[in-house]
Amino acid sequence: MEDPDKKTEVVLLACGSFNPITNMHLRLFELAKDYFHETGKYKVIKGIISPVGDAYKKKGLISANHRVTMAKLATKNSDWVEVDDWESSQSEWLETLKVLRYHHQKLLSPDPTNSLQNAIPLTKPGRKRKQEPNRHEPVKKKNQGPDIKSVPQVKLLCGSDMLESFGIPNLWKLEDITEIVENHGLVCISRAGNSVQKFIYESDILWRHKNNIHLVEEWITNDISSTKIRRALRRGQSIRYLVPDVVQAYIEKNNLYSPESEDMNAGVVLAPLQKHASDSKN
C-alpha cells in the first residue's frame, strides 16, 4: 500500500518558440504549480523552459540565442523555473517527445551538480536503505511503472493550442502522442469555456490516458500571445506590463522584432511537417 502522505514529485517542462517569452508563458507555470499543490498528491519541484531550435523554421522565429537569453532574463528572479538550452543547441529539429525523454533521463541519472539527486527518496521513511545513495553513480531503476512514487515525473506543460495541435495532420506522430500521455503526462492550461475537453473526448488515445492529462482552468483571461507582442512592436506600440521589464528592455536594445524578422522562414515548410512528409515517403 502506498504511503498516502508521499507526494509525487513533478517537473514541468514547457516547449515552444518563446518568441518572445511573455508574462502569459510565465503564468502557465504558476497556474500549474498551484493546481498540483491543491490536489495534495503532487509536489512541483522544478519548471523548465525549453525554447525550440532555429531548425524548427517557423515564420518569424528569431535566433535561439536571443530567445534563450530573454527567457533567462525573465526567469532570473524565479526560484524554481529555469531555462534549458539543450533543445535549442541541437542542429536539427527535435520532436517534443525526445526533449521529454531527455529531461526524464536527466532526472534519473543526475550528475553530481544536479541538486535533484537529494530530492529523490529511495525508500519509504522508517525502512532501512538497501543501497546508500552515491552522488556520483547513476541511480538505477528497473521497470519504473507510473505507480512508483519515488521518481519525479516530467510533465509537458502547455496551453490548449498545443494540445489541439495534436489534430493537425503530420505535425505529430501518433506514437509520440501516445508515449507523451502514457509515460509522462500533460498539464494543459486553458480558459473557461474552452474546447479542450471536447477535443480529448473525440480522441481515443487522449481519452484512454485522460487521467494523465491534467486540465487547469485559467480564470484570468490572459491572451498575451507572442504573435501579438511582435505585432505591437512592429507598430511601435508599447508592450510594457505584458512581458517582464528586462525582456522589454532587451528587445528594445537589440531591436529584435521588425517586418524583416517576421519574414524569416517565409515560405519554408515547418520542420515537423517536412520530416513527417519525407518519413512517410520512405
Binding interface with another protein (CB under 8 A): 23-24, 26-27, 30-31, 33-34, 77-78, 219-225, 228-229, 232, 236-238, 240-242, 244-245
User: 3: burial class by Cβ within 10 Å (0-12, 13-18, 19+)?
Assistant: exposed
CB of 24 to another protein, least distance (A): 8
The least CB distance from residue 126 to another protein, in Å, is 30
Residue with cell 538550452: 85
Q: Residue 274 is inside which H or E element, if any?
A: helix 271-281
Residue number, 30 or 176, with CB nearest to another protein = 30
Instruction: Name the DSSP class of 95.
Output: -
The rounded distance, in Å, linking the Cα atoms of 194 and 48 is 25
Least Å distance, CB 185 to another protein, is: 21
Hey, is 48 helix, strand or coil? Answer: strand
The one-letter amino acid code at 149 reads: K
SS3 assignment, position 16: strand
Which CB sits closer to another protein, 37 or 210? 37
Q: Cα(88)–Cα(261) distance, rounded to whole angstroms?
A: 18
38/111 with CB nearer another protein: 38
Cβ at position 94, least distance to another protein in Å: 28
Nearer to another protein, 17 or 96 (CB): 17
